[in-house]
Chain A
């Protein structure tokens, strides 16, 4: 279906390129010609970044109504005046010539499907009409909203009022979900995002697969750097010599898939040698004996046999953990859906942190909170003006029930399965906001199959992507630099509230999410849902924080100083677990029939001639979302496949040559990838940066550059505890034709 649309879009795009070449030129390059100095900005607008989902404060520099530069906002606690490479290149999204420019509706002309330009009125009317029909026939539960990103809030309000309650985000079951559930099971609360980790003050930091520095969350990397500067010893467990490994005292090139065995080995040593925080555990934890029984046989020797890490290193790290105690930290990672044992692996990490007693201690796990003035003065009724007075129009006859007992959010892959099977109730329509499900979910064939079975698909996005090619209606949202969003009032160590505000007028016919939601609310028969305009709405909330929209627009962020990060000596701790204590052995897991203490199951082995496919991030890209960003793409236009030097030579691979990949299920990549022969990876695994290999020709820059790792991920190892899709049990080999 996407094929059909290509020709038309290419036409539009090349027309744009021609006109821009004749007229203004690539808007980022102004002719400074002979100028010695650089002209001053006309204005600087403080807003919130959305090139990734960390949400740093940025200052946008505008000259002649063009954003020419973005810099970190000085007072924003997430940016501290600094900005990651992606944030620095945000204007590349704003001025992407391939942006969605107007609403599009799929239609069939002479048996051929194609998109045609539509007015906002027509497009939103069609959506309201189709949703009306579908919900009438199949109930509101047959419509599901997928989202990624902060701008989704208005649509959630809209759909909640309409009686649609199934909201799913790949950031759960395809990313951080296992971490959240494991920490909830252990400590009674999740670790949060941004993580409630005191990395900056850690004196001993263990990273498992987490490649800080390549995974470029601004504040996390600032903290990491700060820790290193202060002499923090870093241990990196990674089959690849990552940038973080380059900073580490110990790099443990573990056999992929055996991390849980290593963690159990460390727990074993801490317990056996009594190097854990005995007093803290006695007072605050339950299940110590059960834990010991569970790891009794995880000796260093056995751990070595599984992981390939030398016994001395295993022992040394465990003893160091004990020695540094509460100032050490075993980082739980962020994208943790690897092998299907992810919740248990994260549990083991949580247990390790508990054992060394770093809970609410400097350098350990810390307490985060929201901007306090809200808490103090918040009037709940008034605070949610959109939802407050509006009754839900329809009631769903089913609510989504995950088959995984500990799924606290909706696993996106389960919706895919349910769409295909139609049971326990049919899913007939997807509303997709800002997430390219085809690249983000893995097991692409299933996603495509589900899409074929849907009656109606709506995509709201800034850029075309594979998913928009399958939509019936595409609504072009403007970028974060052209719109207001909800206030960013997030839980963080430094409580803050920050604004996202338009820096420049929306380009083309694109509209901000709140306006799209309002248009839809009118068509869907809820004209009063968004009765305040966005500025009034934001101002109302800010008034309750003793501020105003005017003030926040000027200062960008309000914050209060951090407090209560750490526990006081003798402070009694309460945990929201069944026992009220840290659960070293989880009673809830036991009750649900799972291992109360994490047990190691070996992952599938490499078929002969195949390499385990690992993937990760590059500092200048956010998944596939930035692949078409010409500013960011300049330094990294494509991904490479890292292959161990020796293993690659054995396979007769040449450095720099382009090959296709074939996975264990015989699936061949649609594009080619450049081989990088390197010493920096184990011989049994290969690595690539995720987010490349776009097959939508409308992304003219990203089109067919590199390979999309998701193409090769056809085996999803589902975590039985909460439904996360482990993606690292896939294996590839190479072909030149």
Chain B
């Protein structure tokens, strides 16, 4: 599929402090109701005192290339947008939750008004040439939105010399959150 843009996110776990500014910014920007979130923090500590390691990440929808939510959505509500993101058309959603069962990342929630909701990479902001709310507010600059189809070199520059991983690769979803270690 040829697309003009193909947005992805590069997240630097070295600098993320898990402050949750991204979560609050997202909730305000996207009017996410109380008790739900589109992005969240995961903090993993391994080892035994005093030999410990920690990884912190700000997680969200992976906007997969092979998105199971799109595969399983009976109505076409979950769909690939032309910019490489996965979006939900609220007018088509029946709230059957097939997408929630299908998503290996548990990135979705059921909005109290009935439709399913998740991170949109702030598509409405992207259209205005702005960055997603989480990326904008992140005090550590851990979050970076990149356009994989662009030749601005940003993606290359960010991953230069770093270990890059994706989540749950065996799920075959080709996720588009890239974690820097």
Contacts and interface: CB of A to CB of B under 8 A. Distances in A.
Interface of A: 26, 28-38, 61, 68-72, 81-85, 87-89, 91, 212-214, 216, 218, 221-222, 224-226, 228-229, 241, 243-247, 251, 253, 619-620, 630-632, 634-635, 644-646, 678-683
A181 B116 CA distance: 56
Contact of A679 (B34, B48, B136, B137): B48
Contacts of A222: 139-141
B89 interface: yes
Contacts of A212: 17
A212 B15 CA distance: 11
Given A36-B90, A243-B54, A229 B49 contact: no
B141 A225 contact: yes
List the 9 shortest-distance A-B pairs measured between CB atoms, nearest first: A246-B54, A213-B17, A225-B140, A88-B24, A619-B19, A69-B28, A225-B15, A37-B124, A85-B21
Given A68-B31, A69-B28, A229-B12, A635 B136 contact: no
Contacts of B90: 34-36
A68 B12 contact: no
Contacts of A38: 29-31, 124
B84 interface: no
Interface string B42-78: 0001011110111110000000000000000000000
A92 to B, nearest CB: 9
B9 interface: no
A693 B87 CA distance: 42
B25 A83 contact: yes
Contact of B24 (A213, A631, A682): A631
A332 to B, nearest CB: 20
Contacts of B55: 246
B23 interface: yes
27 contacts: A26-B34, A29-B34, A34-B91, A37-B123, A38-B29, A68-B28, A82-B137, A83-B139, A84-B21, A85-B23, A89-B24, A213-B17, A214-B19, A216-B139, A218-B139, A224-B17, A226-B141, A229-B12, A229-B15, A245-B52, A246-B54, A247-B17, A620-B19, A620-B24, A634-B34, A635-B20, A680-B45
B49 A679 contact: yes
Contacts of A635: 20, 23-24
Interface string B153-167: 000000000000000
Contacts of B82: none
Contacts, number: 156
Interface in B100-124: 113, 123-124
B137 A246 contact: no
Interface centre among B19, B45, B142 (most CB of A within 10 A): B19
Given A253-B50, A634-B35, A681-B49, 9 more contacts: A32-B31, A38-B29, A38-B30, A61-B28, A84-B139, A88-B21, A221-B19, A225-B15, A247-B54
Contacts of A214: 17, 19
B138 interface: yes
A36 B52 contact: no
B23 A680 contact: no
B14 interface: yes
A85 B24 contact: yes
Contacts of B14: 228-229, 247
B175 interface: no
B34 A246 contact: no
B162 to A, nearest CB: 11
A245 B17 CA distance: 11
Nearest to B15: A225
B51 to A, nearest CB: 9
B33 interface: yes
Given A37-B124, A72-B137, A85-B19, A682 B28 contact: no
Interface string B82-98: 00000001110000000
Contacts of A82: 21, 136-139, 141
Nearest to B113: A33
A613 B124 CA distance: 47
Nearest to A226: B141
Interface centre among A88, A214, A251 (most CB of B within 10 A): A88
B48 to A, nearest CB: 6
Nearest to B28: A69
Given A241-B52, A645-B49, A679-B52, A221 B140 contact: yes
B45 A679 contact: yes
Given A26-B34, A251-B50, A631-B24, A71 B18 contact: no
A688 to B, nearest CB: 17
A194 B56 CA distance: 26
Contacts of B30: 38
Interface string B1-22: 0000000000010110111110
A81 B136 contact: yes
A635 B27 CA distance: 11
B19 A70 contact: no
B122 to A, nearest CB: 8
Contacts of A681: 49
A70 B25 CA distance: 8
Nearest to A219: B139
Contacts of B89: 36
A213 B18 contact: yes
B136 A253 contact: no
A38 B23 CA distance: 17
A34 B113 CA distance: 9
A38 B28 CA distance: 11
B45 A246 contact: yes
A91 B20 contact: no
B28 A91 contact: yes
B142 A225 contact: yes
A436 B29 CA distance: 32
